[in-house]
Structure 1
């Protein structure tokens, strides 16, 4: 019985994580530019209505965060990634079993990590050249995303092999020249901002728990260019209003 529950949870998580960045069906094509860009997402498909009607949409500018003495992050990333996929909207690394986040007493399993260039979230109005989303799903398919912001500086050793392996064609997969260590994607200091939001791509579903690391990671200009070239058009959704939300820290 326990084994069946675990299998069902894994499948549910996989399906939900794919929804974060997977392209919509051919009849509901969306993009980041032109008449299929973010301003039109809500009109492309009835299933995308939350992109226009939602009140807790992401991304946002993290401004005026309240000190809430958030508990330490409970992360256990025991395995590494070896494959990268270009899905036409981003490049993403699948996570093997064994990587978890415990949040609000709930266990979330890491499904994949993908990137936005430039960043989607901003902090006090400041935008960054790259943002990583580590997407987790619990047994019911609820999502929690750990976000890492990168600023230009020294070469990032943890990203070196991935940046050298990125497929630049939609639908293409590649083996990473060295494994991707998900723990090393995170800054040494695990202080974070916390708020509820949505998927940043259609269908823009709400109820996503966002954990945004306060400290940034360095990345070289060459590495930024590698990610930008593989992704193609800038894949950051415009900032959304906070409305009644207040970020916590």
Structure 2
């Protein structure tokens, strides 16, 4: 299905869910909801048949010797786009994750409302996913949880630069760094999982930061209105997987 450009209201408040067209055949409600993804396309079979699927409820984490998280943010060419499924920051160059003695390069950062992963059964109003890829085409995702609290300057900047059309990107200035979306404490949980969207590919290395980042109630409401949909896939069983933490 070809995505149509949709002119978004300037204020983006109270935008109805129906105003957001699907960017492809899958979505989050009705016949295209997560429980039906595997029926929409043979390429999505893992969404039902996969064993190690994401998101999960993070609990009973095992203490392990996890190395400090090694992240670098140097990219200067970022852009914000609404692709019909999420608000996404596209990154052109530079940002790196050093993991398992390999370099992973940041591909994009996107958001889910409410959070997809849970921590000890707790849902968060917003979760950011930083998606990385290495030279072997393997994926790693760094997840950041957001909680209601003080206003967040990075979120405020994104809200001031919201795209007005689906799939039409808004360039972000060089002064904006994705590092501003991360907490100071980089301790994390680690587990193996999958993409949380079709084709639900497994073998993804998941790193969820333990310390959440604050944003205000007004920012939560504005971000929700800008997103226009609830875009969280339900949690999946661990099936024997271990969650490791520092």
TM-score (norm 2): 0.87
Distance 2:122 2:106 in 1: 28
Distance 1:31 1:169 in 2: 18
Distance 2:204 2:238 in 1: 14
Distance 1:112 1:86 in 2: 12
Q: Which runs of 5+ in 1 are unaligned?
A: 1-21
SS in 2 for 1:42: helix
Deviation, 1:175, is: 3.0
List per-residue Cα deviations over 1:51-73 (Å, max 9, x = no partner). Answer: 00000000001000000021101
Distance 1:177 1:138 in 2: 26
Alignment match of 1:116 (pick from 112, 115, 118): 112
Structure with higher helix content: 1
For residues 223 and 177 of structure 1, do their structure 2 counterparts lie closer, same or farther at Cα, with a shift above 3 Å needed? farther
Aligned to 2:163: 167
Aligned to 2:126: 130
TM-score (norm 1): 0.86
For residues 220 and 186 of structure 1, do their structure 2 counterparts lie closer, same or farther at Cα, with a shift above 3 Å needed? same
Q: Is 1:200 the counterpart of 2:196 in the alignment? A: yes
For residues 159 and 31 of structure 1, do their structure 2 counterparts lie closer, same or farther at Cα, with a shift above 3 Å needed? same
Alignment match of 2:48 (pick from 44, 47, 52): 52
List per-residue Cα deviations over 1:35-90 (Å, max 9, x = no partner). Answer: 11001001111100000000000000100000002110111112245410110000
SS in 2 for 1:84: strand
Alignment match of 2:70 (pick from 74, 87, 94): 74
SS in 2 for 1:160: helix
Q: Which runs of 5+ in 2 are unaligned?
A: 1-21
Aligned to 1:15: none
Q: Is 1:33 the counterpart of 2:33 in the alignment? A: no
Q: Is 1:92 the counterpart of 2:92 in the alignment? A: no
Aligned residues: 224
SS in 2 for 1:180: coil
Q: How well do the aligned residues superpose, as a CA RMSD in angstroms?
A: 1.6
Distance 1:237 1:81 in 2: 30
Distance 1:49 1:63 in 2: 27
Aligned residues of 1:122 and 1:128 also touching (Cα < 8 A): yes
Distance 1:101 1:178 in 2: 20
Aligned residues of 1:81 and 1:180 also touching (Cα < 8 A): no
Aligned residues of 2:76 and 2:173 also touching (Cα < 8 A): no
List per-residue Cα deviations over 1:119-176 (Å, max 9, x = no partner). Answer: 0011000000000001110012111111000001000112221122122542232234
For residues 193 and 40 of structure 1, do their structure 2 counterparts lie closer, same or farther at Cα, with a shift above 3 Å needed? same
Aligned to 1:102: 98
